[in-house]
Amino acid sequence: DVKVTQSSRYLVKRTGEKVFLECVQDMDHENMFWYRQDPGLGLRLIYFSYDVKMKEKGDIPEGYSVSREKKERFSLILESASTNQTSMYLCASRHQSSYEQYFGPGTRLTVT
């Protein structure tokens, strides 16, 4: 079974802090994704990476950056957290020859 894990289920940070969200997959997938999920807005793509050190902006990249130094790990960075970044963050991965994405359990981030 594909396993996608995220470093924390719940996280509380203060405004202005630098926040790191980590995602690890164990199936040698080339593609990895970061989404945020908000009530009434659904899932929106922040960034994705199609291979190591490769990244592309999604629909809402402002205020975020990413890092993919190893194939299995994709990090989402909030350089200076703000209250409007309070959300559920979901990571996903897929093999580049397959359409199906596998999701992690999510990190519920609260910025106070």
Partner 1 sequence: KNEVEQSPQNLTAQEGEFITINCSYSVGISALHWLQQHPGGGIVSLFMLSSGKKKHGRLIATINIQEKHSSLHITASHPRDSAVYICAVLGGGSNYKLTFGKGTLLTVNP
Residue 18: CB minimum distance to partner 1, A: 25
* Stretch in the footprint of partner 1 (CB under 8 A) among 12-20, 21-29, 41-49, 65-73: 41-49
- For partner 1, which is the closer residue by CB, 16 or 105? 105
What phi-psi label fits residue 106: left (phi over 0), alpha (psi between -120 and 50 degrees) or beta? left
Residue 99: CB minimum distance to partner 1, A: 4
- For partner 1, which is the closer residue by CB, 16 or 27? 27
Residue 111: CB minimum distance to partner 1, A: 19
Residue 91: CB minimum distance to partner 1, A: 10
Report DSSP state, residue 9: S
- φ, ψ for residue 70, nearest 5 deg: -125, 155
CA 34 to the chain's CA centroid: 3
Say if strands 31-38 and 19-25 run parallel, antiparallel, or are unpaired.
unpaired
* Stretch in the footprint of partner 1 (CB under 8 A) among 14-22, 62-70, 72-80, 92-100: 92-100
Q: Which residues bind partner 1 (CB under 8 A)?
A: 31, 33, 40-45, 48, 50, 56, 58, 90, 92, 99-106
